[in-house]
Structure 1
């Protein structure tokens, strides 16, 4: 049960909203590693990565879950034999590595195996990245102010370990009551859980930078 003492919940997205991390993650890791693991040819690589950036950074699908973005990129490139991956993305309750591992254990397929390999490798390389992962200017002060009026929750479709590390390094966690990432469901499901646990839907604010954040709020 969440603490609803304040009766107001601020749901804050991480990548691209609080943290200035989206561009480098997609251009250095998500897209190139997908091209490597799924065998995108050198002739098609440039157009694949351009479309990857469009889908994940520069369109109304900005901020989409990594596995949804992966399917969109692979379909654009005409990659075959990804039916099991597409089915899992469309039907799973949790677009996360843990959920994908369970699906693989129950119904093995090479496309699911590659998707998990890709996701794990992305996490590994992001964790080892030595460049700056900085919060946007004013985020720390903003979180401090919000924490005086309500509970602050990180609500992100990203990997929890990466989000935790980035927020801890930037000194933001001291104003955060809990972290909800891909391992705890989709953003709309997180908001629904907060409502079920005592918050009024009119006192929950979803703060984000993508249409997916707006959709999560509108669905509740």
Structure 2
């Protein structure tokens, strides 16, 4: 089945920052396939037979793990399950982590988006939150109207900067100390974290339903 692609949508998985999801025995896509199966997602039998037959439920097309590993879910010509109202004509990329991504992920995201834009010239690249309803019809979706906060970075700014991320969206271990915002180390930005007992520990309150809280301590 051929599709007319009108959007490339970037998501985040709301998983713990800095934690690789995949392993030698199971890719990140395979893990997410289990998550999506538990939520009732199902791929069509013909699509399963044609591409990644071990993945019965996954809604995403691409997953970028923290170590930069790219794994695939649904085929490009297969309708995804990732953003209501736009699935039929979009391709998605899901970044593991919540709001800070490794340099390996950023590099792979850049390469992947460039390849997709070469295949689908002129297609807009947006974050999931950018597709929230424009309630007053002014052409702008303000943060107060976001139904989701992912991709947890402003995709338009990333594109305008030549696909270079802001330091606040790069895992601290990957950012030179002189470039770190004061609030970013050893904890997370105050708007996203509550300090816990012990230096370098914080609790992320995820904007997504699952997980709702993530305890994360950075080793010194």
TM-score of the aligned structures, taking structure 2 as reference length? 0.29
The structure carrying a bigger strand percent of its residues is 2
Q: Using CA pairs under 8 Å that are at least 6 residues apart, name the structure with larger relative contact order, 1 or 2.
A: 1
TM-score of the aligned structures, taking structure 1 as reference length? 0.29
